[in-house]
Amino acid sequence: MKDYVENDTMEFGEEEKKVEEERDEKRREKMAERGNWSGKLDFFLALCGSSVGLGNVWRFPYLCYKHGGGAFLIPYFLSVFCAGIPLLVIEIGLGQFTGQGPVTAWGMISPLFKGIGCAGLVIQVFLDTYYVVIMAWGLYYLLFSFNAVLPYSTCSNDWNTPCCFVQAAKEKVIDVDTNGSMTRDTMTGINGTMATMMSGSFFNMSEECPNGTTSPTVEFWNRKVLQIHLSEGIHDVGAVSWQLFLCLILAWFLIYLCICKGVKSSGKVVYVTVPFPYILLTILLVRAVTLPNAVDGIIFYLKPDTSKLRDSQVWLDAATQIFYSNTLGQGFLVALGSYNKRNHNFVR
């Protein structure tokens, strides 16, 4: 009886081992079909690219200014070390260990955990929906930037209103005594309808522009790009802007070209798409610090206001920003890690 039990146990153990080997073999075949990063640098650049997005470029400076300047960095870095880094390691490690996408990877831990992967997938779909629209806006501006004179730097376009002023002209008007007079030449940059002078004297604009003047940049955005003036409200969808629609199609097409061959194509694209934003941000930084009173602006922006730390909203926004900055909880990091080799030391 004892020998029978031992033989039965050995047979069961061999069958279990055989099943495990077959499962590993299928997993290796599936990973071979999906492919891997061609090098460690591919994964590193893709990871850096996920951090340089709207969450960091737009949202972080706004939150830093809103919540006490340099004081906001205290809850932010605490959130990084307490939540950001641990979750980052967990998600990448999960994808690397399983070699699967977020839904399947979480499901391999427990079938109930598939909901985590599905939730991240839904979040990613919603994010991509409006991120691509912002890409379309960027392409729209890029196409207009090839003009010799930038259309959003002047008030002589057909979409401009009589209240449009360029900054240089606005400064000249402010410097003029209200009881004095000025020639038409001093009105350079103002829309032609505003340049009409009554007996050479400076007239009052309060009736025609009750909300004050607007810059050509704002009018280009509101009246040319978004065409807000053609809509009566949020209930009025309005007609399709074909220029923006074509830019949206172009944005989706560029995304398709980047991912059409999976990791093989996207792994090569990151060598261009990731360093390029850093180069542009460096150029903008150099330009910003060389402007007049740049130091005063930086001090005003980063000057700590520790009283803000008593507000719970500051800590909540800091923790939320971590998820935006590192694309946590979206399944993206799990997907990136799944293309690593299983023995890759991504922590290092």
Q: What pLDDT, on the 0 to 100 scale, is given for residue 313?
A: 92
What confidence tens digit (pLDDT) does each residue in 124-176 have?
888 888 889 999 999 999 999 898 888 888 888 888 888 888 865 444 444 44
Please indicate if the annotation marks 56 as binding a ligand: yes
Predicted confidence (pLDDT) at residue 46 exceeds the cutoff of 70: yes
Predicted confidence (pLDDT) at residue 182 exceeds the cutoff of 60: no
DSSP string, 302-330: H---GGGGG-HHHHHHHHHHHHHHTTTTS
Decide: 139 and 251 in contact? Cβ < 8 Å: yes
Predicted confidence (pLDDT) at residue 53 exceeds the cutoff of 80: no
Average pLDDT over residues 214-243: 85
What confidence tens digit (pLDDT) does each residue in 293-340 have?
888 888 888 788 888 888 889 999 999 998 888 888 888 899 988 888
DSSP string, 2-41: HHHHHHHHHHHHHHHHHHHHHHHHHHHHHHHHH---SSHH
Decide: 302 and 61 in contact? Cβ < 8 Å: no
Decide: 92 and 346 in contact? Cβ < 8 Å: yes
Type of residue at 97: F
Q: How confident is the model at residue 103 (pLDDT cuts 50, 70, 90)?
A: very high
Most confident of 30-39, 77-86, 325-334: 77-86
Predicted confidence (pLDDT) at residue 114 exceeds the cutoff of 70: yes
Q: What pLDDT, on the 0 to 100 scale, is given for residue 246?
A: 95
Longest dimension (CA), the chain: 120
Average pLDDT over residues 237-254: 90
Please indicate if the annotation marks 52 as binding a ligand: yes
Average pLDDT over residues 264-284: 87
Kindly report which listed range (8-22, 100-114, 166-180, 198-212) carries the lowest average pLDDT score.
166-180
Which carries the bigger pLDDT value, residue 21 or residue 303? 303
Kindly report the average pLDDT of the chain as a whole number: 80
What is the distance between the alpha carbons of residues 284 and 136, in angstroms, rounded to a whole number? 21
Percent of the chain past pLDDT 70, that is, above it, reads 79
Q: What number of other Cβ atoms are within 10 A of residue 46's Cβ? A: 22
Burial class (CB in 10 A: 0-12, 13-18, 19+), 145: exposed
Predicted confidence (pLDDT) at residue 183 exceeds the cutoff of 70: no
The partner residues of 201 in beta bridges, in order of sequence, read 181, 198
Predicted confidence (pLDDT) at residue 14 exceeds the cutoff of 90: no
Question: Nearest 5°: phi and psi at 18?
Answer: -65, -40
Q: What pLDDT, on the 0 to 100 scale, is given for residue 213?
A: 81
Q: What number of other Cβ atoms are within 10 A of residue 136's Cβ? A: 22
